[in-house]
Structure 1
Amino acid sequence: MRPDTTPAQLRHFLTEELYLLAADKAFYGNASAAQAPVPDAAPQEPAIVKETPALTFKYLGGNQKKMLVLCHYADAEYMADAHLTALTNTIGRLGYTLNDVAIVNLFNYEDSAWPQLNSFFHPQKLLILGNAACPQGLPKLGQNQMQPLEGLKALYTYSFTEMIGQKENTKTFWTQIQTL
């Protein structure tokens, strides 16, 4: 290198990084003094990120037509057998099968809220069977009235316990579910 060439000028001609040898540091003392040595940083442990467990719900059915049925049974995994038969017969008259719906027993998920259910199932239709089956965070719905809810059709109606043996309740349910 020529003596009249400064390290500042070299950066225009050389694209690679240059490193000074110990013997050259004395010659370019002012240039290397501008870059103070960086002390070694203490080794840091990586921050532990606590992962949120994936939200899952155990449900009966295939959810192929995105119809979510919410119920509340303390003594059954999904629904009482007689009530499941009645529901299957009812949705069968409407052209649905068990593969088309997702039946969730909210007794098993009492801490779950409507936004969690909505984001997991992405329902287009919602059937709520009884007051105990209303999830937290669900906007107030009128009973036995088809209502729009966040871009889907919702029906909040009687539980099957309230309908079995009550012809008036069953008739009201049948009238409304036909519009779902």
Structure 2
Amino acid sequence: MENQVTNNANALRLFFTDEVFVVKDESMQKRSVGNPEPVFAAGNVAVAVENKTVLDTEIARIPEIKSTTEPKVYPQAPEIPRIAEEPVPEKVFKFLGGNKKSVLILVNDQQHDVSTEQGRELLRKIVKAIDLGTPDFAVLNYANYKGTDYIELHRFFKPHIMLSFGVEIAELKLNLSWQDEIIIHDSTKIIFAPNLHHLDSDIIAKKKLWGHLQKIK
């Protein structure tokens, strides 16, 4: 509903015959609203000032960091020299003969330097059959070097011919098989036969050996 109160003078004369005085109603004016001034508590202002003072003091204590364009050079650690592996010393063998013709004769006798008297006599006949003298071959008693393989023997003696009496293929660590035929391995001709002492009394084995020796003369 609209407000029926009026302060218009002409309108009021229609209702009232007496003198009408229009009085300005101060209560009808709207109070102008301005920007209110902020009100701060005194305690908060004091704390803010105190904190600012402490902060300024701490900043003043921080030393100034000066930038530099020159990088700092650190000394390099000395290079540690590598330890060279020591070469494995070559095995040395004590043998009979001169090995001038690179003929290696292996025997296997734990009680004698070469073999029994019968075995030594048989060996003299064998080397004579292939026209060899003592300076031409090397006789090695394998019983004194158990565990030595073919590679070690070949490295030391470099044989063109190897006669093995009583030393088996497995002992020399050769991946070969003996089938009563001359074996050619690494350009070395190899013949296997029984121990000299036993071979002297084995007629069949001696005949096979003589046949092989004729092929390598």
TM-score w.r.t. the length of structure 1 is 0.69
2:122 & 2:75 partners in 1: Cα distance? 76
1:117 alignment counterpart: 153
Equivalent of 1:54, from 90, 105, 113? 90
1:150 & 1:49 partners in 2: Cα distance? 28
Q: Give 2:164's aligned amino acid.
A: I
**Mapped contact 1:88–1:97 kept (Cα < 8 A):** no
1:113 & 1:70 partners in 2: Cα distance? 12
User: Residue 35 of structure 1: CA displacement?
Assistant: 7.0
Matched position secondary structure for 2:75: coil
Q: Could you say if the C-alpha distance between residues 134 and 91 of structure 1 is closer, same or farther in structure 2, counting changes exceeding 3 Å?
A: farther
5+ residue gaps, structure 1, are 1-28
**Mapped contact 2:168–2:192 kept (Cα < 8 A):** no
Let me know the Cα RMSD of the aligned residues: 2.8
- Is the aligned partner of 1:169 residue 2:205? yes
TM-score w.r.t. the length of structure 2 is 0.58
1:35 & 1:87 partners in 2: Cα distance? 82
Matched position secondary structure for 1:126: strand
Matched position secondary structure for 1:91: helix
2:71 & 2:128 partners in 1: Cα distance? 82
2:73 alignment counterpart: 36
2:138 & 2:170 partners in 1: Cα distance? 15
Matched position secondary structure for 1:153: strand
- Is the aligned partner of 1:75 residue 2:111? yes
User: Residue 69 of structure 1: CA displacement?
Assistant: 1.1
- After TM superposition, the structure 1 = structure 2 runs for residues 1-180 of structure 1, keeping only pairs within 5 Å, are 33-34=70-71, 36-38=73-75, 41=78, 47=83, 50-132=86-168, 135-180=171-216
Q: Could you say if the C-alpha distance between residues 158 and 143 of structure 1 is closer, same or farther in structure 2, counting changes exceeding 3 Å?
A: farther
Aligned length: 149
**Mapped contact 1:62–1:100 kept (Cα < 8 A):** yes
Q: Give 1:141's aligned amino acid.
A: S
Matched position secondary structure for 2:215: coil
1:97 & 1:51 partners in 2: Cα distance? 36
1:154 & 1:48 partners in 2: Cα distance? 38
**Mapped contact 1:71–1:132 kept (Cα < 8 A):** no
User: Residue 46 of structure 1: CA displacement?
Assistant: 8.4
Q: Could you say if the C-alpha distance between residues 133 and 69 of structure 1 is closer, same or farther in structure 2, counting changes exceeding 3 Å?
A: farther
5+ residue gaps, structure 2, are 1-67
Q: Could you say if the C-alpha distance between residues 49 and 152 of structure 1 is closer, same or farther in structure 2, counting changes exceeding 3 Å?
A: closer
Q: Decide which moves more: 163-172 or 115-124.
A: 163-172
Structure 1 stretches of at least 4 aligned residues deviating more than 4 Å after TM superposition: 39-42, 44-51, 131-134
1:10 alignment counterpart: none
